[in-house]
Structure 1
């Protein structure tokens, strides 16, 4: 395994453990507060990011950049 891969896995496991700790505290500890809520919500929000996207230039069926701008300008006659 390369060093970069090891670091990525370590970071993923560490942040995953931190997220689970925050969720467990929110569910099990009556005094859990804003910090745990922010960590849990932030981790959930990050899971919604499209991290496996293809760059637009290489995507199949992608439209050319500036297409809408040209379409709006053509109506300015």
Structure 2
């Protein structure tokens, strides 16, 4: 399991290095740092679009999807019971 975490930590450390270099020395950064920052930001958006499809495949067939809860309006009055 640690074998999967090592490359992820290395890539994260390189991304943070590029971000800090861009912030601290903006005149000294080049194409590689900019590409690394843009690529990391783009990858951070990926789970937002992939999560719902991946979560739908993992659910058991007997589980129902949740329903939205409708809030009562404050001017509707109280429940008579």
Q: TM-score range by the shorter chain?
A: 0.5 to 0.7
Q: Which runs of 4+ in 1 moved over 3 A?
A: 58-61
In structure 2, runs of 5+ residues without a counterpart are 66-81
Residue pairs, 1:14-29, within 5 angstroms: 14-29=10-25
RMSD (Å), alpha carbons:
2.3
Residue pairs, 1:37-52, within 5 angstroms: 37-50=34-47, 51-52=50-51
- For normalisation by structure 2, the TM-score amounts to 0.57
Specify the structure having the higher radius of gyration (Cα): 2
Residues of 2 paired with 1:8 and 1:43: CA distance?
18
